[in-house]
Every structure is written in structure tokens, then in C-alpha cells.
Structure 1
Amino acid sequence: MISKDNAEHYSWGEQCDGWYLLKRQDLLVIHEKMPAGAAEQRHVHAVARQFFYVLSGVLTMEMEGEMHHINAMQGLEIPPGARHQARNDADSAVEFLVISQPTTRGDRADLR
């Protein structure tokens, strides 16, 4: 059994947290937490398809110039090649799952 309580933890970006729930080459499942005002670097994956599913709060996702506000219990698919950036524009933390197939390791190019 795996949970946020016993999963491998890492920190990223602006005081953001991640927990590897499943870490394989063919599938990556991460539980992430972003504090209010945090954002990741805009980037693209050449091969990986991702699905962001919000557990609590509201995640703002910019994808190919279009803004999406993903509420709790909603998700959004990011296809390979789509330029995107996850942000937390809300006043409180947002927690979400990121499911990537295959893994995003070595498949990320940051954009300006």
C-alpha cells in the first residue's frame, strides 16, 4: 500500500512538494502540493501524456495559450507536445495528482 504518508518525498520549484505514488518507466503517479502563488516553469513533453487531477483547491493550467481553472474532483489531459504551465493563483494551497505515461524523466524541455 502507498500513500502520501509513506511515499518518497521531494521538493521542487517555489516551496512545492511532491510524493511518488508510483515511479516506473511506463507510468508515473505523483501527488503534488503547491502553495498559494506558486508556479512551475512553462515546459513541454515530447512523448509523455499527462493527466492532472485536483484533489483540493483550484489549479490554474495554461496550455497552448488557453487558461483552464481545474476545481477539486476535476481533471485535465495534457497531450504530448502541448506547451503548458501549472500555477496556483488562489489564496490557499492546491493538491493534485499528476499521472504521466510514460514517465516524464528525460522528456521535459523548459520554455521561456
Structure 2
Amino acid sequence: MTISKDNAPFHTWGDNCGAWTLVQSESTLVKEERMPPATSERLHYHVKTEQFFYILEGRASFFLEDREILLLQGDGIKVPLGQPHKIVNRSLEELRFLVVSFHWEEGDRVDM
């Protein structure tokens, strides 16, 4: 079966941000997410989950540890288990990215 945003479950989060769940298995979660201009997620970490973010379109300010890292289209970043992080769209354009969560479990996110 072909998977696309047209047939994937969708949910909104934050300030009009959205996510399509493209793949969900016992241990892996793959989402395509979009963030309108001037939006941010909360700083958080995961107890059991490692993540990989890949920018499809736009520019992302990614906060990891005490650093701000600029990610452009085609850039990716791995977030180690237990590492506080957040993604912010400071641009005037929509941001689209993939996030792959490994060893994913429901309720593993801890907001700071």
C-alpha cells in the first residue's frame, strides 16, 4: 500500500502545526510535520526514544543542549536519548520536516 499525506492519520499540535503519521510500528514512528512561520515546539526530552529530524523545506532553528543549530533543506540532525531539544521556525516560510523516532513508546516525551 502506498503511504502519503492523503491517507495518513493527521493531528495538529502547538500553534497550528501539524503532523502526518506515515509509519507506526512497535518500535519506530515516522512523521512528516509542518510548522507555520514564527512557531515553536516546547523544549522536551525522551526517556527511551532516539530521534532523527530531516528538513524537507524551509529553515529550522534546532535547539540541542545549549546550542542553537540552523538546519536548511536537506540537513538532518540526530537527537540522542535523554537530550533536551526543540525545533523552531523563525522564518517567514512554512517549515516541513521528517522526524523518525526509534525505540518509540507512547508517553515517552517529557516536557521541560
TM-score range, shorter chain: over 0.9
Query: Corresponding residue for 1:80?
Result: 81
Unaligned runs of 5+ in 2: none
Deviations 1:43-72 (A, max 9, x none): 010110000000000111101110111110
CA distance in 1 between counterparts of 2:62 and 2:35 reads: 13
Q: Relative to 1, partners in 2 of residues 1:35 and 1:10: Cα closer, same or farther, differing over 3 Å?
A: same
CA distance in 2 between counterparts of 1:102 and 1:3 reads: 23
CA distance in 1 between counterparts of 2:74 and 2:6 reads: 21
Of Structure 1 and Structure 2, which has the larger fraction of its residues in strand?
A: 2
CA-CA distance at 1:25 after TM superposition: 2.2
CA-CA distance at 1:103 after TM superposition: 1.6
Query: Corresponding residue for 1:7?
Result: 8
RMSD, matched Cα: 0.8
Query: Corresponding residue for 2:20?
Result: 19
Query: Corresponding residue for 1:43?
Result: 44
- TM normalised by structure 1 equals 0.96
CA distance in 1 between counterparts of 2:54 and 2:15 reads: 20
Identity score, percent: 35
Unaligned runs of 5+ in 1: none
Check whether the contact 1:32–1:97 (CA below 8 A) recurs between aligned residues: yes
Check whether the contact 2:10–2:20 (CA below 8 A) recurs between aligned residues: yes
Runs of 4+ in 1 over 4 A off after TM superposition: none
Query: Corresponding residue for 2:64?
Result: 63
